[in-house]
A and B are shown apart, each in its own frame.
Chain A
Amino acid sequence: MNEWLVVGGVGLAAFSGLPGLFIKRESGLGERIALALLTLATAAAGVGAVRALMAPSPEPGLALRWSVPGGMFRVHVDALSAMFLVQVFLLSFLGAVYGLAYWKQAEHPDNGRKLRLFYGVVTAAMALLVVARNAFLFLAGWEIMALAAFLLITTEDQDKRVREVGYIYLTATRIGTLCLFAMFAALFALRGDWNLEGPLDGRSSLAGGVFLLGFVGFALKAGIMPFHVWLPGAHANAPSHVSAVMSGVLIKMGIYGLVRVTSFFPSPPFWWGGVVLAFGIASGILGVAFAIGQHDIKRLLAYHSVENIGIICIGIGLALVGRTLGRPELVVLGLAGGLLHVWNHGLFKALLFLSAGSVLHATGTREIDRLGGVLKSMPRTGLAFLVGATAICGLPPLNGFVSELLIYVGLFHATVSGSGTLWLVSAFSAAGLALIGALAVACFVKVFGAVFLGEARSEVARSAHESNWRMTAPMGVLASLCLFIGLGSLLVGPILDRATAAWAPDLAAALPRAATLAPLAAISVLGVCLVVVLVAIGGWLHGRTRAAAATVEAMVSTWGCGYAAPSSRMQYTSSSFAEMLVGMFRWALRPQVHPPGPRGIFPEPTRFASHVPDTVLDGILLPGGRAVGRGFRWLRFLQAGSLHAYLLYILATLVWLLVWHGGR
């Protein structure tokens, strides 16, 4: 029953954008039909997923014949798939509501219908791959998702920069799919059929190959450093609700793949968990370090996605290590923390991208250092961004704190009762996680302060206006969900337990409940107390301030040491705020400073710019690619440009093949 609901939702979502193609481009009817179909799809699949979360149905679910050799339409919604399904449809639905006002058909007659078509297709493909239990069905969903995402990223393909980032994304995703093809072939060699289920022996070298190929392939989608090269450009240049869906859901498909493939192996070798943990910590620290150096608001948020994927990988690595060592508490805490962070990151990252899109829509610029003081003219967007920023830094009483706490407690358990070198590794991993948290706080204070607070640095920031309710309502829903999960963490405990049991069915009976291992109840109570104390003190201060006779409000300017003419350019910019931290990480970031600023005793007007390029892409891959191109220049003589020469090559190849086969 659940499977039929989900498949119905997939079908409705896939065709949601189709009617719009047959309607005149000036009319707004197409977008309303698309939203209505997507709403129905969300309702259907949502009911199916929630029912599967509450009471998982037994295997094998739905199995229909499919004409592809080796393929079968096998679909099953277990608790693990259901968690990802909820996220796919919730964020797609909210993004579609947002898109009604953000990408109005009347304002974008050329690419609006294309956007909505592929938006529905990408939602359907992601939902399909999450419930697929056959390798070919999984790959079909994966490929459709990847190509639809490419077409979504390049929505504004008249812009050269957009086309370039689209090509980088396409290259990365093709390499990833190639790795996945190889991985599924190796899985077939291990299993003998194309079904996606365990248990398999993890100790053979073929299993090691499956893990490595799967890790690289899924890392290219998830954005684990150093496979993240497509992420910053793609998220920055896509329409904001597409960026929200991509960052909130698409990259989680890589995480889903990694979790699903590792679930087939009940006793993985230790190095699997070690690799995931190491890459997780590296992604976390370097992701947030790169984010600190950015001054494009959406690029910055994209690097934070890399950081949070790193945190999720720390949790998954911990769970794998726990499975190797037979420590069920590590499995529960690591996987529960990782999966809850998948949900939480989807929520607050989508919230941040939607509010960044709102600012972009109102001001027309993504450049942080041209904004400022936007909170005064866009109070709801600013509040939404503040909630998202507080959540992504993992601060209580919001949801990011709960998932990070689960991972922390898992690492602490490994530290306190581990032996050998494991406890040292987990102690330093916990310190790494603390470093990631502190850097995230620094970065988001920078963004929130430079964009929303202080004085406006340009005219566009001064004249911004608040967005439509269709854009602020989804932000409000996401912000409330962040607060709800933060204060009501006890309610998510059972869901996480079922998902962990679905991941490790062999341990299912012996797994302790997440709520007993981690202080979820205490966190909820503490969160509520914090809110109460905040309201109490805030109300008291407000009353006290009002009661004082001589309180002066909003009539004077900020005290500036007696300086009589303060200007908005005297404020700290985002680059000045981040300067010390960028300097500390300059071994990785390699910041570039463009033609020098003022020189000499009587300087002339000059320019100064600094920016932080992506080290892996701009420092290694692109120069490396250019060097390879130069190295193969000697082969260019073959590309004469003449059709006759190419026909000659085809003829020669045919003759050679006939001779070779004729001779055999």
Chain B
Amino acid sequence: MPGKVSDTVIQAIFILVFPPLMLGVITKTKAAFAGRVGAPFLQPYYDIWKLLRKSSVFSRTTTWVFRAGPVVAVATAILAGALVPIGGRSALVAFQGDFIVLAYLLALGRFFTMAAALDTGSAFEGMGAAREATFACLAEPALVLGLLALARASGSLSLSSMLGSTMPLSWTRAGASFVLVATALFIVLLAENSRIPVDDPNTHLELTMIHEVMVLDHGGPALGLILYGASIKLFVFAAVIARLVLPVSPGSAWAAWGVAAVSVLAVAVVIGVVESTMARLRLTHIPSLLVAACLLSAFGIVLLVK
């Protein structure tokens, strides 16, 4: 049906084009807190375009694994975007158990990013990869438990039906659980997307980086792809949280898209506020934060016991 095809196309274009705007909103929010004007909203798009036209430098230590890292990261991020529901509408691809497929697709991207980091043979990238590996171990159970709480509350195993039209009804029955799950998922978002207080995306000190230092040796089009993939990954997490917190489903299609875009940008503003008001945690305290996220998810599930 023409209507459905154009909906699918609009959704695909939304997933591919919208995410870098989130990065721009975060930067503007941080600038507002600091009393600056800040970079334009569309700056990430200009950055990606600039990087795609540059040339590259490859170290003699690296192999094809180093070049494959950004490719896998972007490809898995795009497919994860196809699996996530936006607003109240179903994802491009939806089936039972799709949320675990999403988690494992992102894990595949993480595997190759870490491998590409170790390929450089430098202590900086190795350090970032070691930290990333450790923190991911703690973030994964929090993510799975949180999504399972959503599954139990909605009685379905597909993200699209979990976050679909039954959301307002589920809120009346399991609201307390959802508050805990939303907080836990927000902490997982901060951890997986290298935001303060887990990681500082703007630091210049390699010793304090996690994600930034893993991609330190990439340049040119590869770095552009990494930036783009990171924005899509941020969008995936933010879309889930936005729909969980704001399950509004207006009637007309355009209003629905508008609500979806605004709610995702609202999540970006919240991220910007968190980044401006908090400092990065000491590295040894980050596991405690992630364990707290696991506990929040666990209690979110326990609250669903009748």
A residues sitting closer than 8 Å to B (CB atoms) are 372-373, 375-376, 386, 390, 393-396, 401, 405, 408-409, 412-413, 415-417, 423-424, 427-428, 430-432, 434-435, 437-439, 441-442, 444-446, 448-450, 453-455, 518-519, 522-523, 526, 529-530, 533-534, 537-538, 541-542, 544-545, 548-561, 566, 568, 570-572, 576-581, 584
Contact = CB atoms under 8 A, between A and B. Distances in A.
A401 B152 contact: no
B96 A409 contact: yes
B111 A558 contact: no
B141 A568 contact: no
28 contacts: A372-B121, A386-B115, A390-B108, A395-B104, A396-B104, A409-B96, A430-B148, A434-B140, A434-B143, A438-B140, A445-B129, A450-B118, A453-B121, A519-B95, A519-B97, A523-B101, A529-B79, A537-B225, A545-B220, A548-B221, A553-B58, A554-B60, A558-B120, A560-B123, A577-B126, A580-B131, A580-B134, A584-B134
A424 B305 contact: yes
A572 B101 contact: no
Contact of B55 (A405, A442, A522, A548): A548
Contacts, number: 250
A533 B75 contact: yes
Interface in B219-270: 220-222, 225
A454 B118 contact: yes
A429 to B, nearest CB: 10
A304 B80 CA distance: 28
B164 to A, nearest CB: 15
A396 B108 contact: yes
B105 interface: yes
B120 A441 contact: no
B56 interface: yes
A323 B17 CA distance: 49
Contacts of B139: 438
Contacts of A550: 55
Contacts of B136: 438, 441-442
B166 interface: no
B156 interface: yes
B57 A551 contact: yes
Contacts of B57: 551-552, 556
B114 interface: yes
Closest CB pairs A-B (n = 5)? A572-B126, A449-B118, A454-B121, A548-B55, A442-B133
Nearest to A417: B155
B95 to A, nearest CB: 4
Contacts of B108: 390, 395-396
A276 to B, nearest CB: 22
Chain B: number of interface residues, binned into ranges:
35 or more
Contact of A558 (B68, B75, B217): B217
B287 interface: yes
Given A395-B104, A405-B100, A572-B127, A416 B137 contact: no
Nearest to A423: B152
Given A427-B152, A551-B57, A519 B98 contact: yes
Contact of A556 (B54, B59, B122, B294): B59
Q: Which of B52, B126, B305 has the largest number of chain A CB atoms within 10 A?
A: B126
A109 B79 CA distance: 54
Contacts of A571: 121-123, 126
B56 to A, nearest CB: 5
B222 A541 contact: yes
Interface of B: 52-63, 65, 67-68, 70-72, 74-76, 78-79, 93, 95-98, 100-101, 103-105, 107-108, 110-111, 114-115, 117-124, 126-127, 129-131, 133-134, 136-137, 139-141, 143-145, 148, 151-152, 155-157, 206, 216-217, 220-222, 225, 287, 294, 298, 301-302, 305
Contacts of B144: 430-431, 434
Contacts of A405: 97, 100-101
A396 B101 contact: yes
Contact of A442 (B61, B93, B105, B137): B137
Nearest to B119: A453
Given A537-B225, A548-B54, A522 B59 contact: no
A656 B69 CA distance: 78
A445 B151 contact: no
Contacts of B221: 541, 544-545, 548
A437 B119 contact: no
A549 B68 CA distance: 21
A561 B104 contact: no
A401 B101 CA distance: 9
B104 A394 contact: yes
A437 B143 CA distance: 13
A346 B210 CA distance: 35
A409 B60 contact: no
Contacts of A442: 133-134, 136-137
Contact of A577 (B104, B120, B133): B133
A409 to B, nearest CB: 5
Contacts of A523: 101
B60 A555 contact: yes
A277 B285 CA distance: 33
A541 B55 CA distance: 11
Contacts of B225: 537, 541
A432 B140 CA distance: 10
Contacts of A533: 75, 78-79
B60 A416 contact: no
B56 A548 contact: yes
A385 to B, nearest CB: 11
Given A412-B151, A571-B122, A534 B130 contact: no
A316 to B, nearest CB: 20
A453 B206 CA distance: 21
Contact of B130 (A519, A545, A577): A577
Contacts of A372: 121
B27 to A, nearest CB: 25
B97 A409 contact: yes
B111 A390 contact: yes
B68 A530 contact: no
Nearest to B108: A395
Contact of A557 (B60, B97, B123, B206): B60
Given A534-B71, A538-B67, A556-B57, 7 more contacts: A454-B119, A519-B95, A530-B105, A541-B71, A545-B67, A551-B58, A584-B287
